[in-house]
Structure 1
Amino acid sequence: MDFLSRLWIELKPKLNTGSCGLDFGSGPGPVLAEIITEDGFKIETYGPYFPTQ
């Protein structure tokens, strides 16, 4: 999870307020999507091998 937090720290300043995105290949535990959502951004998850139910 630490590497995803570091990725988000670098990416966040480059996004406009209210931006939305897609966490493609998020898997059964969409950690990056959770981090992004906590900061008020909208994100959808999609994992072709782990569909949400």
Structure 2
Amino acid sequence: MRDKIIGIAAIAVLAGFMGILLGFVPHLDLSIVVVVVVLMAAYDFYLMLFKNKNGG
């Protein structure tokens, strides 16, 4: 359970950092990259969270 909380906190910190970056450099192409990066991190966390534990 603690690893899930730490994972959610890490994604929140990543999103916060990227938000600050966008606040100082508001460009459309950077916004697209930031959204893709945060979505990829969230998707990876989702896969690790609901992955089948018995290898099947």
Query: Considering only CA atoms, is the larger Rg found in Structure 1 or Structure 2?
Result: 2
Structure of greater relative contact order (alpha carbons < 8 Å, 6+ residues apart): 2
The structure where strand makes up a greater share of residues is: 1
> Of Structure 1 and Structure 2, which has the larger fraction of its residues in helix?
2
Instruction: Give the TM-score normalised by structure 1.
Output: 0.31
